[in-house]
Amino acid sequence: MNSSIFKIIKFFSIFSIFIVLAILYELNFNDINNPKELKLFKSGNTESLCQLNNETELYCFQKKIGNIFSEATPIMIYHIINTNNEIMNRSTRISGEVESNFYQYTKNWNLILDNLNSFYLQTDRLHFFQVTILPIIKYSLQRDLTSSQNKVMRYKNETNETLSTQTKKEINKFLTYKISLTRAKNE
């Protein structure tokens, strides 16, 4: 009797260790299906973000978002949002154009969230570990969204009278979003 209980405990211990290692592997090494797009988005080429004149535009996330989301996994979505936050922090440090940076930041967030709201996780494209980690990613995305909305709200309150109508429109749209990740229904 003791031997069978010991075997069951040993099996679940090994299974648990396997799951933890697989999740860590998924998070650190196999996090995106489309690494080229996200590498370009992370690179220094995005300093220009999406300038209005096409001559200085090196790379525009807004033109690539469809490609990125077409192959996105839940973990990649998390990386996209983190990358958007990194670009905002880097761009604010490098240039003094705070309103332009906030406009691009909220515009990118709005594009991410628009795509996320129409993004259904196809269960035939996901493996077990991506499905099990989905609640953690959803919580993390919600936390990042709330934090970013608070930052944008503070900026809006400080500079409301000097903001352009286009920036106000993007900021107001961004402040109303909620995150919802749902799995597609099998037909």
User: What pLDDT sits at residue 92?
Assistant: 61
8-state DSSP, 160: G
Summarize pLDDT for 153-169 with one digit per residue, the tens. Answer: 888 888 877 888 888 88
Mean pLDDT calculated for residue range 77-106? 72
Spatial contact of 67 and 97, defined as CB atoms under 8 Å apart: no
Q: Is the pTM of this model over 0.75?
A: no
Convert the pLDDT of each residue in 122-163 to its tens digit: 545 556 666 666 777 777 778 888 888 888 888 888 887 788
CB 181 within 8 A of CB 121: yes
